[in-house]
Amino acid sequence: MKTILLSSNDIKTAAELLLNGEIVAVPTETVYGLAANALNATAVAKIFTAKGRPQDNPLIVHIAGRHQLYNLVENVSDTAVKLMDAFWPGAITMVFPASPIVPSVVTAGLATVAVRLPSHPVMLDIIKAAGVPFAAPSANCSGLPSPTRAEHVLDDLDGKIAAVVDGGACDIGVESTVLDVSGETPRILRIGGVGQSDIERVLNMKIALDTNGGDKPSSPGQKYRHYAPKTPLTVLEDGDPGIHIDRDNETVVYLCPAERANMFKKHIVYGSLSEPESLARGLYSALREADKSGAERIIAVCPKGECFAAVRDRLYRAGMDN
Ligand code: TXA
Ligand code: MG
């Protein structure tokens, strides 16, 4: 298959491909997504094949307006409404009891469905033009860092998908926060673009972080290795005494905030501590660049503090088996 590179003006072409049952990579404010018509089970199945995604890992359904939510879910709690008012459109995904209209290939057979209303204008225009919601995981090969530019999508999926819509670099750079609002008490299943304290402020209560997986993971995605470059990665806590080890070793590439750049001979800066969002925005691109650098090992300097929670989560998962 030849993958077509579309521009953000090609909304109609992208929508037509999607309505014809093709899969198309699309920009969102978090990371690029690999979209299919969520109500077409055959189209959704193509996503799993193209990404090499485990069949038991469900997909997020993306909508362009709240009216589309009510067909997809059985029940919307008051808590969910408060969160939608505060954070939609944006980087928060909520897990609801699924309505029978949602194909089981989307939910991986679970009784719940994850839904997000993204803020990216190109993504919203394509959903509106197609008139159907899109199931879309991140548009990378399963296990690799998520794509934050169209070229990252092509590096992983060229020849395996119908098209990619180039909407430039993603603003946020890490995936949405996934929050289960299907039960009595909300739980965070994945920390991402929206912080835990922001959610707690809106709900005026403490929210449990349920992101670790273990024997009985609350979200299937917690079972799998994610975000990992091909080169082995080790995490180094910023300020750790070991931070000076190997700093001149040319076979190692350091991923670090700008403020630490002068400490390491071979390094890639992925953002600045003075602007926490910049580290999230630059992380995946830097991981991909590190893979291409020829280094035998990546050492990633991990910033400390709650405002870096999503970056910390991604780095520790990326380094999990090393
Ligand atoms: O920012 C994002 O969320 C991006 C963009 C494209 O929207 N999407 C994304 O999708 O990161 P994906 O498939 O890479 O991650 C979705 C996560 C997975 O960990 C999956 O297990 C979890 O959400 N998930 C999906 N449906 C679920 C459900 N019904 N219950 C629990 N977890 C669910
Ligand atoms: Mg993903």
Convert the pLDDT of each residue in 306-321 to its tens digit.
999 999 999 999 998 7
**Mean pLDDT of the chain, nearest integer:** 95
Q: 177: Cβ below 6 Å to ligand 1?
A: no
Band (244; pLDDT cuts 50, 70, 90): low
- Percent of the chain's residues with pLDDT above 70: 99
Residue 196 and residue 184: Cα distance in Å, rounded? 18
Alpha helices per DSSP H over 89-225 = 104-107, 121-130, 150-157, 196-203
Beta bridge partners of residue 113, listed in sequence order? 96
Q: What is the pLDDT of residue 2?
A: 97
Alpha helices per DSSP H over 68-189 = 69-72, 78-87, 104-107, 121-130, 150-157
Atom of ligand 1 nearest to the CA of 136: 6
CA 256 remoteness from chain centre: 21
CA-proximal residue: ligand 1, atom 6 (nearest)? 33
Which residues, other chains included, contact 43 with Cβ-Cβ below 8 Å and sequence gap of 6+?
A: 18, 21, 22, 23, 36, 37
Band (134; pLDDT cuts 50, 70, 90): very high
Q: How far is the CA of 252 from the centre of ligand 1 (A)?
A: 32
Q: 221: Cβ below 6 Å to ligand 1?
A: yes
Band (181; pLDDT cuts 50, 70, 90): very high
Please name which of 65, 66, 154, 74 lies closest in space to residue 111, comparing C-alpha atoms: 74
Q: What is the pLDDT of residue 206?
A: 97
Helix (H) or strand (E) holding 288, with range, is: helix 276-292
Q: Which ligand ends up closest to the CA of 117?
A: 1
Q: 175: Cβ below 6 Å to ligand 1?
A: yes
CA-proximal residue: ligand 1, atom 19 (nearest)? 221
Helix (H) or strand (E) holding 48, with range, is: helix 41-51
Residue 104 and residue 95: Cα distance in Å, rounded? 15
Look at 212 and 70; give whichever has higher pLDDT. 70
Q: How far is the CA of 86 from the centre of ligand 2 (A)?
A: 24
Q: 295: Cβ below 6 Å to ligand 1?
A: no
The predicted model gives 174-185 an average pLDDT of 96
- Assess whether pLDDT exceeds 80 at residue 289: yes
Atom of ligand 1 nearest to the CA of 114: 26
Q: 142: Cβ below 6 Å to ligand 1?
A: no
- Assess whether pLDDT exceeds 80 at residue 41: yes
Q: 140: Cβ below 6 Å to ligand 1?
A: no
Lowest mean pLDDT among 151-160, 172-181, 199-208, 211-220: 211-220
Separation in Å, CA 165 to CA 28, 63, 76, 89: 10, 18, 32, 20
Q: What is the pLDDT of residue 222?
A: 84
Q: What is the pLDDT of residue 226?
A: 83
Q: How far is the CA of 142 from the centre of ligand 2 (A)?
A: 7
Q: What is the pLDDT of residue 169?
A: 98
Beta bridge partners of residue 37, listed in sequence order? 134
Q: What is the pLDDT of residue 12?
A: 98
Q: What is the pLDDT of residue 215?
A: 76
Q: 116: Cβ below 6 Å to ligand 1?
A: yes
Q: List pLDDT tens digits, range 85-127.
A: 999 999 999 999 999 999 999 999 999 999 999 999 999 999 9
Residues of the chain by 3-state class (helix, strand, coil), percent to 5: 35, 20, 45
Q: What is the pLDDT of residue 200?
A: 98
The amino acid that residue 99 corresponds to is: S
Please name which of 100, 69, 104, 98 lies closest in space to residue 83, comparing C-alpha atoms: 69
